[in-house]
């Protein structure tokens, strides 16, 4: 089991995350702290394998805290502010979870942690993450058509979306049921081709034709498929998408 330490200035967030972690049966929580300054010494003493760390906290940000920790554990950031995602991956982190953390996204992060930890001792963390990203890349994806399973080329899929509790792949004007969640697809496909523009939408950047400002800070993304499909880019994803596209 992984030994985890939790740092977040919001007690309800700590309690929720602790409950989700305990439910996985994969993590032993060795401590938690609401005060980021006090957490520095506590992390040194506890020496956890993994640190679940909020970013925007009073006094010290999560990045400030890491800069003062002598032996840095692997980090999974937990925050309500998506704007920090790019900077988060510049430090010793393997994932970035938006609050409120969902169980399936937490499982994805723990799966990634297992793969990275398994690679340690042979390569450094950055190399392990790059190898993980390459191994996650898919060329085809299984889809359900009635009782049959077909394989659809990733390049033909314009986007993935959720409807109710189901996930669908959109291709050539049709929607096909997929057995993976959006979070799982995001991990398997990697960031090079698909970008998560909404909690329930993963867009194929190869099909993006046009971006237009929309209401309340959101954007409309028009695809170059036959239907000229328009997707909504959530407000908290707009800045990340613009940075990724160098806009």
- Per-residue H/E/C for the chain: CEEEEEECCCHHHHHHHHHHHHHHCCEEEEEEECCHHHHHHHHHHHCCCEEEECCCCCCCCHHHHHHHCCCCCEEEEEECCHHHHHHHCCCCEEEEEECCCCHHHHHHHHHHHHHHHHHECCECHHHHHHHHHHHHCCCEEEEEECCEEEEEEHHHCCEEEEECCEEEEEECCEEEEECCCHHHHHHHHCCCCEEEEECCEEEEHHHEEEEEECHHHCEEEEECCCCCCEEEECHHHHHHHHHHCCC
For 88-107, the pLDDT digits (tens) are 555 557 777 878 888 888 98
pLDDT of residue 38: 96
pLDDT of residue 31: 97
* Span 125-174, pLDDT tens digits: 444 444 444 444 467 788 877 767 777 888 899 999 999 889 999 998 89
CB count in 10 Å sphere of residue 18? 16
Alpha-carbon distance of 118 to 2, in angstroms, equals: 12
Residues 6-46 have pLDDT tens digits of 999 999 999 999 999 999 999 999 999 999 999 999 999 99
CATH class of the domain whose range is 2-135 = alpha beta
Q: For the residues 177-203, what does the mean pLDDT come to?
A: 84
Domain-wise residue ranges, the chain: 2-135, 137-244
pLDDT in tens, 179-191: 888 888 887 776 6
Torsion of CA 126, 127, 129, 132, to 10 degrees: 180
Q: What is the pLDDT of residue 191?
A: 60
Q: CA angle, 25 as apex, 23 and 27 as ends, to 5°?
A: 100
CATH number of 137-244: 2.40.50.1020
20: phi then psi, degrees, rounded to nearest 5: -65, -40
Model pTM above 0.75: no
> Is the per-residue pLDDT at 207 higher than 90?
yes
- The sheet with strand 93-98 has its strands ordered as 27-33, 2-7, 50-53, 74-79, 93-98
pLDDT of residue 136: 42
* pLDDT given for residue 130 in this prediction: 47
Residue 26, pLDDT score: 93
Mean of pLDDT over the chain: 83
């Amino acid at each position: 089991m992984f030994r985890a330490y939790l740092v977040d200035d919001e007690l309800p967030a700590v309690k929720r995350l602790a409950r989700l972690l305990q439910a996985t049966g994969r993590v032993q929580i060795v401590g938690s702290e609401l005060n980021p300054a006090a957490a520095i010494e506590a992390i040194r003493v506890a020496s956890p394998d993994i640190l679940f760390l909020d970013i925007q906290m009073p006094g010290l940000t999560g990045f400030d805290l890491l800069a003062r920790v002598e032996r840095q554990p692997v980090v999974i950031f937990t925050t309500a502010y998506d704007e920090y995602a790019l900077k988060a991956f510049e430090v010793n982190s393997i994932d970035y979870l938006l609050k409120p953390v969902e169980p399936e996204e937490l499982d994805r992060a723990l799966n990634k942690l297992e793969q990275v930890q398994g690679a340690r001792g042979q390569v450094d963390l950055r190399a392990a993450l790059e190898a993980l990203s390459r191994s996650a890349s898919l060329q085809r994806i299984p889809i359900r058509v009635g009782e049959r399973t077909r394989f659809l080329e990733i390049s033909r899929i314009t986007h993935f979306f959720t409807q109710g509790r189901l996930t669908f792949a959109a291709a050539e004007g049709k929607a096909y049921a997929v057995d993976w969640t959006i979070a799982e697809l995001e991990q398997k496909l990697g960031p090079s081709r698909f970008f998560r523009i909404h909690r329930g939408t993963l867009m194929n950047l190869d099909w993006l034709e046009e971006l237009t400002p929309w209401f309340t800070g959101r954007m409309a993304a028009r695809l170059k498929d036959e239907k000229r499909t328009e997707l909504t880019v959530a407000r908290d994803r707009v800045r990340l998408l613009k940075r990724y596209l160098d806009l």
